[in-house]
Amino acid sequence: MAAPVAAIATQSVSGQARGAEKGSDILAMTAVDLAAAIRRRDVSSREVMKAHLARVDALNPKFNAIVSRVDGDQLLREAAAQDEDAAKGLFRGPLHGFPHAVKDTAPAQGIAHTRGSPIFRNNIATTDSLVVARMRAAGAIFTGKTNVPEFALGSHTFNPIFGVTRNAYDPSKSAGGSSGGGAVALALRLMPLADGSDFGGSLRNPAAWNNVFGFRPSFGRVPSAPSSDVFGQTFATSGPMARTVRDTALLLSVQAGSDPRAPFSLKDDPAVFTKPLDREWKQKRIGWLGDLAGALPMEPGVLDTCEKALDAFRAIGMSVDTARLDEPADAMWRTAVTLRHWSVGADLLPFADKPEQRAMMKPEAIWEVEGYRKLSARDITEAQMGRTRIYEAFRKAFEAFDFLVLPSAQVFPFDAELRWPTQIANRTMDSYHRWMEVTLPVTMAGLPALSVPAGFGGPRNLPIGMQIIGPNHADLAVLQVGHAYERASPWIGQTLPGAIRAATPRPEAHAASSVQRSNR
């Protein structure tokens, strides 16, 4: 009787293996292809959810990208409800059936909203932010939150509630931040897309360090609501992260669009981001800003890796030449620090004024608050004038170039147990974010910037990226040139984290081992 039992076991496990193989196929799809497959009903929302939850169960305990997880049975019920809608020809939007964890700086109704701070350890959101509401309406099923640094301060994702999020390519290294959980979740295929936000590079650096794409939109492209200051808060913006540029554009089409609560929100139709991104690039010009004429310290290997990646622009017919910004780097830094104190310090002041809450705030948060307390009206006025000079410096550079390119970070991913790098190339960093100085000029200018993977380098062969920067409101053009760069760089999609290869099932081996167990 042993042979028939073995045969039955083989048939049963083969079915399981085919299911596992289908799950792996789902996880390998781009978001654009997955959306099309769901709409064709080639795959069900429930199958999509099961595949992603299995991957989260397998990898998230080691990497800690997704926190405040929603009950799996509840998620499968929500997916089944979306399948019932699909059977009737009713699709909620382009994210129909997509499992999605929201960055923990944005409220999502019914899910913990901690901002990585112990002050909000037990806080449950009672409403959605504007961007979250748009993703929900587009069909996303919220599976939890993605981890962030405390109050999203710093480009290294760790906090006293959930701990450290680890790099997808080397779990001993930092994931970047503040959208570090989202970048790692993307790279490990824990979800098809990721939302994030960006002030000091929070969409750009974690994307660079995890070999994915992160897009900081133009000021006004993705409105923020609710907000306590709709006129003065023009630094941070929400935006998309994804594994391809087309996927990035897909999520931007959901996030973007005007809203009456945001007086500077752009009224362009966001559907433009769903159109093909192909375009001719011959005779267009890239300006390479490098280390801002030697002003920014760079870890050895960062510039070399990025400069090699510039060949992809040449391959699509573009010229690449050295560019300069008229505004000195030190002046841009002083402007950014003052305006960051003004923005971040004002937000954190109510907590710092309460002794019991102040005691729970990390030193970097207190530093921002105390910097804010010292500001005068003259300081802020001069910084705003400095911000105008930064914008003018970029505008002048765009008279000579169609796009500008900068590294997305000044160092490769550092040890996850560090708070932040205190030195780069023998130069001391005087604040928790000085090592990310390379991202702040773009923030101050309010320009669109796409972080694209640039390659792997340094002594441990770790990921780094570059920012493709466009003129004011040229978001679509930046995505188009990023798409062409991606097509000329096939290594990006082919270079997967080792954890994915280890987690991918091998049906033949699985079936054989199961048959052996059934015969014992």
Task: Please state, as a whole number, how many other Cβ atoms lie within 10 Å of the Cβ of residue 421.
Answer: 20
Closest by CA position to 504, among listed 241, 189, 92, 233: 189
Do the beta carbons of residue 251 and residue 30 sit within 8 Å? no
Please report how the helices 475-487 and 245-255 are oriented relative to each other, as an axis angle in degrees rounded to 10: 160
Quickly tell me which residue has 């705030």 as its tokens: 361
Q: Which of helix, strand or coil describes residue 466?
A: strand
Answer for the pair 218, 212: CB distance below 8 angstroms, yes or no: no
Show which residues are catalytic.
103, 178, 202
Contacts of 296 (CB under 8 A, 6+ apart): 329, 410, 437, 438
pLDDT at 276: 97
Q: Residue 267: enclosing H or E segment and its boundaries?
A: none
pLDDT at 505 (0 to 100): 64
Say if residues 218 and 447 touch (Cβ distance below 8 Å): yes
User: Distance (Å, rounded) from C-alpha 402 to C-alpha 392?
Assistant: 15
* pLDDT tens, position by position, 163-181: 999 999 999 999 999 999 9
* Strand locations in 323-410 (E): 403-407
- The radius of gyration of the chain's CA atoms, rounded to the nearest angstrom, is 23
Identity of residue 102: V
Phi, psi of 452 (to 5 degrees): -115, 145
pLDDT of res. 19: 61
Q: Which amino acid is at 354?
A: K
Residues of the chain with pLDDT under 50: 1-16, 507-520
Q: What residues does 99 pair with on adjacent strands?
A: 141
Task: Compute how many other C-beta atoms are within 10 angstroms of the C-beta atom of residue 316.
Answer: 16
Tokens 């530093």 locate to: 367
Mind giving me the DSSP string for 209-262?
HTT-EEEEPPTTTS---S-S-TTT--S-EEEEEESSHHHHHHHHHHH-S--TT-
Nearest Cα to 295, choosing from 468, 442, 445, 438? 438
Contact 195, 255 (CB under 8 A): yes
> What is the pLDDT of the chain when averaged over all its residues?
93
Side-chain-facing half-sphere of 198: CA atoms under 13 Å: 36
At 517 the pLDDT is 32
